[in-house]
Amino acid sequence: GAGVSQSPSNKVTEKGKDVELRCDPISGHTALYWYRQSLGQGLEFLIYFQGNSAPDKSGLPSDRFSAERTGGSVSTLTIQRTQQEDSAVYLCASTNQGNTEAFFGQGTRLTVV
Amino acid sequence: AQSVTQLDSHVSVSEGTPVLLRCNYSSSYSPSLFWYVQHPNKGLQLLLKYTSAATLVKGINGFEAEFKKSETSFHLTKPSAHMSDAAEYFCVVTGGNKLVFGAGTILRVKS
């Protein structure tokens, strides 16, 4: 597609449920990032995928968070046993190389009630 | 390791006056630096980027930034603020695996 696509755009879930957030990067982009933006906070790095290399998971806040990138394209961020503090906007970005600009999706607004 | 410090969490200017949003960075690599803008309930949009070419970088909507290695700064400026510039601005550094974001500066433009 023309840009980074994220789905769903909004998700309301009950505390304790699992959620999956999807990111469809720009075709041909080798790098993919997930960030989290909480109300009044900056952007918090979660995970980074680059080609076939092992992902950089150093930003995942707990073992309830995991992400996959299948076939070097679509990525899914999974949050298990959601907590209220997981409520945030989850942003995905893709880029062609490490030093060129990243293109961001519109984000998924997750609300845990 | 890379880090970014945006020196002001909020900046308020009058329409038609200059804008200065300050950013200092730290990087173990030769950095690439970016400014992104986020309007309310919108996605992040790239304003401009520095990737070791010209130190004065011009971006969209009249914004520009100057890379000063000696001061490890990459401040964002605009000669004359417009109401539509009201948004949150993020300074970003990369040189390794990840994009590192500053905490953001909220720009308010008064009429």
Q: Which residues pair with A110 in a beta bridge?
A: A11, A88
- Asked if B43 has any chain A CB less than 8 Å from its own CB, the reply is yes
Interface membership of A43 toward B (CB under 8 Å):
yes
Per CB-CB distance under 8 Å, the chain A contacts of B32 are 99-100
A1 has pLDDT over 70: no
For B82, residues 6+ apart whose C-beta sits below 8 A from its C-beta are: B15, B61, B109
Q: Which two tokens stand for residue A28?
A: 């041909």
Q: A47-101 pLDDT, tens per residue?
A: 999 888 889 999 999 999 999 998 879 999 999 999 999 999 999 999 886 557 8
**Model confidence pLDDT, tens digit, residues A10-41:** 999 999 999 999 999 999 898 999 999 987 77
- With a pLDDT cut of 70, the percent of chain B lying above it is 97
Q: Where are the beta strands (DSSP E) in A1-113?
A: 5-7, 10-13, 19-24, 31-37, 43-50, 65-69, 75-79, 88-95, 103-104, 108-112
Q: Check: CB of residue B43 under 8 Å from CB of residue A106.
A: yes
Winning range, highest mean pLDDT, from A15-19, B1-5, B45-49, B93-97:
A15-19
